[in-house]
Amino acid sequence: MKHAASARLLLVSAMSSGQGKTTVTAALARKLKRQGKRVRVFKTGPDFLDPMMLQRAAGSAVDSLDLWMVGEKRSRHLLAQAAGNADVILIEGVMGLYDGTPSSADLANTFGVPVMAVLDASAMAQTAGAVARGLRDYGPVRLAGVLANRVASARHAQMVADAMRDIPLLGTLARQEQSLPERHLGLVQADEIHNLDALLDHLADQLEIDQTAWDAMPEIVLNDPADDVPIEPMLKGRKIAIARDAAFAFLYPANIDCLHRLGAECLFFSPLANEAVPPDADAVYLPGGYPELHARTLSQAGQWQASIRNAHADDLPIVAECGGMMALANQLVDIEGATWSMAGILPGKVSMQKRLAALGPQAWTTAQGELRGHAFHYSHMESTLQPMAHTIKHPMNIEGEPIYRVGSLTASYFHAYFPSCPQAVASLFLQPTTP
């Protein structure tokens, strides 16, 4: 039985990265929330850092939407669920509007969501109109309007508005003396910014909205397939210890939800605080993050290192993704060239580099089905260990990340999106067999 719900939806996109999509989406979410609106925010494509900021801005969990990794059916289900208890749904796009396969434009057109184009107007005026028309017509997409970011003055804003012709200027955001800070993987983590809520409030105050144009946008009716197939509780009764702190923070909320639906109980602990793997854990999950920024602390966390080595010796299944894998290598060389000893379960050395080593969607074909996800890292792994498998890059269909197996440990740079194949996930957290 299908269910329908409606809300005002907007996909926030741009001509490229760096235009201010996250800043604008966060400012708009905070502004609407302060107006008493029920706001839900989603992020297009694989991402861990932007959702942390957006969650703080909106005050609600931020899930991923993606026609390939998440899938059209689940994406529609998530949107319809959100529409049932939200007044406004904001979807932050990825990269430029038409970048990627599938792109943000593909997502918008699949679900009939209007697009708001964020344009960095700091070095343009009338040309903003040409860019906006190109973004609208290239696909085309249903362009609700433009938000001009980094405008210098009211006169500058008026020049941009005049250039829009038949495209509404939905709002403007002035040049920011303080914006959301960044580092090599994108934005810093939300908990690292001590004045984040004040900054978000300030951005919301600066955001000028054309209320007439905003009110003219109709609500979108979303049909929920309502056929979310129940997941067999293959992990019922099992306790999974999950590392969660500033070094291990790249964790999809959907992955935790998937583990719960598989019947598992999740136990969280902090290697950075030198906490041991919980003694009653049946398996361990080490997600990605920034171990390279905390290498000294992790190298001195003797209790944590001993506990994960003991867990491995006891054949507890261990799943380590990207940063989690890095923390289990013999050594980690940080960006300054300093070498730090890690847990030493995975033979090899991980070295940071200034250039991006991998970026994009990938899939692992297992005996249980295709487990989808992505890779995004600035380090490389040197190991004599032979991979037990490789992911496949999408859509190029070429070899991707190696997947290593050492006893009960499965490790890779690959970040898996668990709901894409719960059966494969369950097999990883049961006693180790070849997936």
Catalytic residues: 322
Q: 63-65 and 39-44: which strand pairing?
A: parallel
Locate 196 and state its tokens. Answer: 């984040």
Q: Minimal CA–CA distance to 97: which of 25, 13, 18, 12?
A: 13
Buried b (16+ CB within 10 A) or exposed e, 149-180: bbbeeeebbebbbebbeebbbbbbbbebeeeb
Q: 63-65 and 265-269: which strand pairing?
A: unpaired
Neighbouring C-beta atoms of residue 215, cutoff 10 Å: 10
Question: Greatest CA separation found in the chain?
Answer: 69
Distance from C-alpha of 342 to C-alpha of 298, rounded to nearest angstrom: 7
Kindly compute the dihedral angle of the four CA atoms of residues 63, 65, 70, 72, in this order, to the nearest 10 degrees.
140
Distance from C-alpha of 409 to C-alpha of 328, rounded to nearest angstrom: 10
* Residue count (the chain): 435
Distance from C-alpha of 148 to C-alpha of 256, rounded to nearest angstrom: 37
Q: Which segments of 35-172 does DSSP mark as H helices, in order? A: 49-58, 72-83, 104-111, 127-138, 154-163
Distance from C-alpha of 248 to C-alpha of 246, rounded to nearest angstrom: 6
Buried b (16+ CB within 10 A) or exposed e, 57-73: bbebebbbbbbbbbbbe
One-letter amino acid identity for 66?
D
Distance from C-alpha of 277 to C-alpha of 301, rounded to nearest angstrom: 12
